[in-house]
Amino acid sequence: MALTLDLIHADVADALGEDPADIPVDENLLDYGLDSVRIMALLERWRRDHGVDAGFADLAEAPAIEAWAPLLGVG
Amino acid sequence: MTTPLTAAARPSHEAGAGAGLPLSAAQSGMWYAQALDPLSPAQNTAECLEIAGPLAPEVFAVALRRVTAEADALRVRVTDTPDGPRQHLLAEVEPPLSVHDVRGAADADAAAETWMRADLAEPCDLAAGPPFRHALFRVGDERWLWYQRIHHLVMDGFGYSLLVRRTAEVYSALVRGEEPGPRAFGSLADLVAQDAVYRASEACAADRDHWRTAFADRPEAPRLAGRGALPSRTFLRTTAHLSPESAERLRELAAGLRATWPDALIAAQALYTSRACDRADVVLGLPMMGRLGSVALRVPGMVMNVLPLRLSVTPEATFAQLVRQVVLGIREARRHQRYRYESLRRDLGLLGEARGLVGPLVNVMPFDYGAEFAGAWARARNLSAGPVEDLTVNIYDRADGRGLRIDHDGNPALYDGDALASHQERFLNLLERLTATDPQQPLATHAIATPAERALVIEEFNRTDHEVPPTTLIGPIEARAARSPDATALVFGDTALTYGQLNARANRLARHLQGLGAGPGKLVAVSVPRSVELVVALLAVLKSGAAYLPLAPDYPARRLTYMLQDAAPVCAVTDHAGRLPSDAGTPLVALDTLDLSGYLPVNPARALTPSHPAYVIYTSGSTGRPKGVVVSHGAIDNRLRWMQHAYPLGAGDRVLQKTPSSFDVSVWEFFWPLRAGAALVVAEPGVHKDPVRLARLITERSVTTCHFVPSMLQVFLAAPRADGCTALRQVFASGEALPRETATLFARTLPGAALHNLYGPTEAAVDVSYHACAADGSGPVPIGRPVWNTRLYVLDAARQPCPPGVPGELFLAGRQLADGYLHRPELTAERFVADPFGAPGGRMYRTGDLARWTAAGEVEYLGRTDHQVKLRGQRIELGEIEAALTARPGVDGACALVREDGAGEQRLIGYVTGGADPAAVRAELAVALPEHMVPAAVVALDVFPLTPNGKLDRAALPAPVFGGSGAARRPVGAREATVTRLFAEVLGVADAGPDDAFFDLGGTSLLAVRLVARIREECGAELTIGSLFEAPTPAALAARLDTAAPAAGDALDVVLPLRAEGVRPPLFAFHPAGGLSWCYAGLSARLSPDQPLYGIQARGLLDDGPLPPDLETQAAGYVRALRAVRPHGPYRLLGWSVGGILAHTVAVLLQEAGEEVELLALLDAFPAEQWRERSAPEEGDALTAVLRMAGFDRTDERTREDVLATLRRAGSPLAGLGDHTLSRIVDIVPHHARMMRAHRHRRFEGDVVFFTAAAPRAEDWLTREAWRPHVSGRIVNHDLDCTHPQLMREKQWDAIAAVLAPHLTDTAG
């Protein structure tokens, strides 16, 4: 199943223990509690379920949903 | 606030290449730490990778060369330059690599490990470079160990992971014969540039503000060792694993709480730390990689930071709530994560060993490297993670199937291997239990003790069950009287009573009391000074079946009335009518007019059982009302039976009774010897405060057994004839903490006697624990093990047992517990609670004492948990003092505390707000409260200082001598700021202003030495103690440092202005025999701020000029000096010791010249003729005197050179004087003695204010009455409880200043 922006949004909110409505897509996720453990957990989930091949550093370098979308193969 | 997503503009890589790059803030921290101890290897970090598979060392070497070329950080040399440290990037560095085949070794891994440890212990020279090295060990045919060691200044943990993965990638490609992918690392210059941009940014300023606000109250760092230390050169490590099953449960637990397992682990550590340190406010340190959202993600280097995480851990909260706090706390911290930990500590003034911001560090490394060397998997193991300041818990999640690896790294200055292992075992045990418990349960469910530790501290240490017969306090005494009626029971002065006589007298009085209604369950007050009659009265009350209520004869009437009304005894026995106030309406039995001849001298009948009360003793009450503790016969009988078993008394023993009957120690003094057939030696009233008379009494009466409060024991042992008490075979100490020094001095002074430290509150029949002091013991003296049928519990905030070594509150259970507080059921229920560890229905008493178990099963006393204090063995509830203060008219709010000044003196201080005059408030308290409960000073405040969360900030209450500028301006300039900070640091005050004078803030000469040393250290400036007298404020001192003006010798001039400002007629204080007036510095702070104070000092301290031929000439010279300051009277004069003689002589000269002298104050000074017959001291004595001036006893110093050497060695302020001046003092002391003996006093017209050092002295022939012929008016005396030298101590200055105040008014100006 292909990853979508909405799915990314939902997964990120889930990892942060927040409601998706409270997580803007264009803001720094570090301010919302994203940390390396959570990034790794998300990455593992997306690799397993969606065959994503981005690296940890790619995501960690620019931690925002919009910035992640192209890295995760979402147009 | 949003962290920028993109890195700052990239500078060119070549920028600054010639001059080298500056260090980033993170690197600077490491640089300065290394510079402090250049030979320390502590900053070596190292890892060992086990590679399971074939490895080609030559290919590996090529890979390393390539990675080194890619990683800038490895190719730096760091040098110190005038502009600060710089890192120079080298184009090429050959990586140091050695290859070792250790397959032949008996234990190949061990051989490799030994090599690694040795390498790790070698300090790294950053200027020489390279800052790393590699080694390969072939430990098996297809098993290799790759050791890499890198200096922490260039690499952190995340950097290692980048290096390892890249090395594996390059190696694998080379093995496959492929060209490795291009360099993936960012440059070091980028890192440094990004750091510089941040430091100059508004974000940095905002981060700093955030942290400074969050820690504005500077919470005490929770330290598992109970103290801090600087990092050592090495660290201790214990390693354990959390099983894969438990690790999985931890993950599930965390997931269920919408958290990650590191969050849960941090919460567990917070819980552990909170309990182990007995604190609810816990600050942990979290090492953070600090790279998310940054170019640093691709740069191997030193970036990591430590973030403080502040948590509130209470027993009522659940683990789920604690984890949530962690999640939110980290989220908040992360927003400010770029601000350096070192900077924050510096901002808060929390650098150094005694200060800190965080407790344990929790360092979670949640990823495995996943490195693969051409198909061979590698497993990483950290060998050193850098310096350990306190304790670091490193947790690694490595994909090796062994669960979580947990390394506890401890600073060996704080932990030994056992302590570290215990912390680890308990933490793992707690973690296991947390993962197996519903996280919605309150944290109180969890103890930090392991099950084995719990069994040890609850059961094993408390095996005290012992059968005792159901007897009473009095029964065994009557049995003894029947058995040996002719033995001596009591000795008092010239009186001696046999058991038969004593018993008969007590029986007659008992029968009289029974006639007045005394009997079991009833109460009879006794207020009789120490005497035969006191013992008879106490026995009589007990014989009647009633409990006795001792009332100290010297208590204020108001308090006695309160206790009589509160306790409502059936009657009160006194030695004579008028002893007790009559307004309570208690029937009085006055012994002096009582005829008992009509009563039978045989034991009276009574229906007394062990459960009836035996005595009621009042103690201080926190709500302002003293409370009566009711102790049963069964409780005290157990106590005395244990004591006779532990320290058997025989017929030949003599036990001293010297403790006031209102203090429960007296209970065993009175009754234990009478139960055992020994004799009771009753000390006359007042003797218990007089060490010399005590020593005489003990010697003359061959006392074998007695008790001392530790502070009195110290005084007693210092008394001249204490070592003559050779009959003494056992001494008991209790009532306050027994210092080891006192125990050691005891063993030296009385080698034939044993010293026993006992502990117990009034609420548990005198004592519940005991410890025999060993002559060669060291460390704190324990309060020991429980007595018979007694259990001691050390419990944490959740009332869970504390393991050995962990502080908690001491609870007591067992037969000796009091029944409770008389007529106070709520208070009784609050302090005597159900015992969850003992038999059902049992009670335990909450002592409020902080304590911990030793591993050997003894308890150590650590202090109080509440506001109860002990001053000289007397228990005081600060609440009671506060209530008394608040009750005064004009007082709005009040607070009381015990302050310890620089000299280690403890004083009770009251603080009040409102319009009341503090001096008047203190005077009123003196009427209402017993002497020991009257504050030494009452300080008026406008408002009470509050902590950020609105609580009273006790630490910020000013010292009573505080005369500082209330509205202090801020320091101007770096130097003034530094000096101001050092003032505050040395004086131990929360705030010093740049215009506050050192001595006004409570500075002493000892503190002056420390301050001067600190200023020399921090400012690198030469400064003498004299400078401080001349420039006593931070502003003045800083100005002096700036102009680099050398200190003049003004501190040695004849006139020494101790405080020159003020409009009142100055007070002139004359020097003692040594010629210096520095001893009066302590007085200035205690006088009104506009009262000037000048010291008058001997001539000839600075030069070799001739000393005055006689005292008259000397005084005439001083008159001229006085007139230079104040041409005409009125004059105010004061002098201590020889200074008193000088003051008197100067006063006479002034009066003869027609001037008015409105104050002549003599401090323990005695006129010339008292000395005339005694020989004057020679140089030998002068050396002793000089040493005494500096606070030393003379030991083996023979010559003045020896004395000078001692003073210099000890850093005495006198040593700062220079050899010439010291040498002159040695001349001046005996010269004064000679002049003084030759002097003839004339008459002073007027009154003299006199202060007597009332402690016994060797020169017992000295009397102030000798002044009579030389004084026309009155000699108004004030006794001070101290020796002659002690008069110059802080404590006495308070009293002296208070007496002088009315004489130093503003009127005459």
Confidence at residue B426, expressed as pLDDT on a 0 to 100 scale: 97
Catalytic machinery residues of B: 1284
Could you tell me which residue, B1081 or B340, shows the higher pLDDT? B340
Residue B1293 sits at the vertex; the CA angle it makes with B934 and B1023, to the nearest 5 degrees, is 135
Using CA atoms, how far apart are residues B602 and B508, in angstroms rounded to an integer? 8
Instruction: Write down the pTM of the prediction.
Output: 0.70
Shortest Cα–Cα distance, B329 to chain A (Å): 10
Confidence at residue B6, expressed as pLDDT on a 0 to 100 scale: 32
The full DSSP string for B619-680 is E--TTSS-EEEEEEHHHHHHHHHHHHHHS---TT-EEEE-S-TTSTHHHHHHHHHHHHT-EE
The tens digit of pLDDT for each residue in B702-759 reads 999 999 988 888 878 877 788 999 999 999 999 888 989 889 999 999 999 999 999 9
Instruction: Return phi, psi of residue B523, to 5°.
Output: -130, 135
The tens digit of pLDDT for each residue in B630-648 reads 999 999 999 999 999 999 9
Domain boundaries defined on chain A: 5-71
Q: Is the pLDDT of residue B3 over 60?
A: no
Q: Categorize the per-residue pLDDT at B1046 as very low, low, confident or very high, splitting at 50, 70 and 90.
A: very low
Q: Is the pLDDT of residue B1291 over 90?
A: no
> Which residues of A, range 7-46, sit inside 8 Å of B by Cβ?
17, 27-28, 30-41
Q: Categorize the per-residue pLDDT at B1048 as very low, low, confident or very high, splitting at 50, 70 and 90.
A: very low
Nearest C-alpha neighbor of B465 from the set B815, B921, B26, B5: B815
Q: Is the pLDDT of residue B164 over 50?
A: yes
Shortest Cα–Cα distance, B295 to chain A (Å): 7
Q: How many CA atoms lie within 13 A of B1292 on its CB side?
A: 23
Question: Counting Cβ atoms within 10 Å, is residue B293 exposed (0-12), middle (13-18) or buried (19+)?
Answer: buried
Lowest mean pLDDT: which of A55-69, B535-549, B974-988, B989-1003? B989-1003
Lowest mean pLDDT: which of B196-210, B324-338, B572-586, B901-915? B901-915
**What are the C-alpha distances in Å from B673 to residues B40, B535, B892?**
62, 12, 51
Confidence at residue B1045, expressed as pLDDT on a 0 to 100 scale: 43
Confidence at residue B71, expressed as pLDDT on a 0 to 100 scale: 96
Residue with tokens 């049928």: B789
Lowest mean pLDDT: which of B520-534, B565-579, B713-727, B911-925? B911-925
- Contact call for B2 and A64, based on CB within 8 A: no
Q: CATH for A5-71, among 1.10.1200.10, 3.40.50.720, 1.20.970.10, 3.50.50.60?
A: 1.10.1200.10
Q: Which residue in B293, B327, B328 is closest to A30 by CB distance?
A: B293
- Contact call for B293 and A17, based on CB within 8 A: no
Contact status, residue B500 vs residue B485, Cβ threshold 8 Å:
yes
Q: What is the mean pLDDT of chain A?
A: 89
The top-scoring range by mean pLDDT among B313-327, B1081-1095, B1239-1253 is B313-327
Q: Which residues of B touch A (CB under 8 A)?
A: 1-6, 258-262, 289, 291-295, 297-298, 327-328, 330-331, 334-335, 366-367
| Mean pLDDT value across residues B823-827 | 95
Tokens describing residue B694:
């005590």
Q: How many CA atoms lie within 13 A of B413 on its CB side?
A: 15
| Mean pLDDT value across residues B10-27 | 65
Q: Which residue of B has its CA nearest to A17?
A: B258
Q: What is the mean pLDDT of chain B?
A: 87
| Mean pLDDT value across residues B308-318 | 97
- Contact call for A40 and B327, based on CB within 8 A: no
| Mean pLDDT value across residues B821-844 | 95
Confidence at residue B82, expressed as pLDDT on a 0 to 100 scale: 80
Using CA atoms, how far apart are residues B1073 and B1230, in angstroms rounded to an integer? 8
Contact status, residue B173 vs residue B188, Cβ threshold 8 Å:
no
Could you tell me which residue, B989 or B1286, shows the higher pLDDT? B1286
Tokens describing residue B819:
């029944």
Contact status, residue B172 vs residue B133, Cβ threshold 8 Å:
no
Confidence at residue B330, expressed as pLDDT on a 0 to 100 scale: 94
Using CA atoms, how far apart are residues B572 and B480, in angstroms rounded to an integer? 27
H or E element at residue B565: helix B557-567
Confidence at residue B902, expressed as pLDDT on a 0 to 100 scale: 45
Confidence at residue B1216, expressed as pLDDT on a 0 to 100 scale: 58
> What's chain A's Rg over C-alpha atoms?
11
Q: Categorize the per-residue pLDDT at B414 as very low, low, confident or very high, splitting at 50, 70 and 90.
A: very high
The tens digit of pLDDT for each residue in A3-43 reads 899 999 999 998 888 899 999 999 889 888 888 888 988 99
Q: Is the pLDDT of residue B17 over 50?
A: no
Residue contacts between A and B (CB atoms, under 8 Å):
63
- Contact call for B331 and A32, based on CB within 8 A: yes
**Residues from chain B contacting residue A27 (CB–CB below 8 Å):** 2
Question: Counting Cβ atoms within 10 Å, is residue B675 exposed (0-12), middle (13-18) or buried (19+)?
Answer: buried
Using CA atoms, how far apart are residues B553 and B568, in angstroms rounded to an integer? 18
Confidence at residue B1301, expressed as pLDDT on a 0 to 100 scale: 84
| Mean pLDDT value across residues B1010-1021 | 71
Could you tell me which residue, B973 or B817, shows the higher pLDDT? B817
Substitution target in B1, B210, B260, B338 with the highest count of A β-carbons within 10 Å is B260
Contact status, residue B766 vs residue B671, Cβ threshold 8 Å:
no
Question: Counting Cβ atoms within 10 Å, is residue B177 exposed (0-12), middle (13-18) or buried (19+)?
Answer: exposed
Confidence at residue B15, expressed as pLDDT on a 0 to 100 scale: 37
Q: Categorize the per-residue pLDDT at B686 as very low, low, confident or very high, splitting at 50, 70 and 90.
A: confident
Residues 6 or more apart whose CB falls under 8 angstroms from that of B335 comprise A30, A31, B1, B3, B210
Lowest mean pLDDT: which of B52-66, B733-747, B864-878, B1152-1166? B864-878
Nearest C-alpha neighbor of B555 from the set B646, B484, B626: B626
Q: Which residue in B261, B293, B330 is closest to A63 by CB distance?
A: B293
Q: Is the pLDDT of residue B862 over 70?
A: yes
Q: Which residue in B260, B298, B335 is closest to A31 by CB distance?
A: B335
- Percentage above 90 pLDDT, chain B: 58
Q: Which residue in A37, A61, A62 is closest to B260 by CB distance?
A: A37
DSSP state of B316: T
The tens digit of pLDDT for each residue in B663-674 reads 999 999 999 999
Substitution target in A25, A32, A36 with the highest count of B β-carbons within 10 Å is A36
The tens digit of pLDDT for each residue in B775-803 reads 999 889 999 999 999 999 999 999 999 99
Q: Is the pLDDT of residue B345 over 50?
A: yes
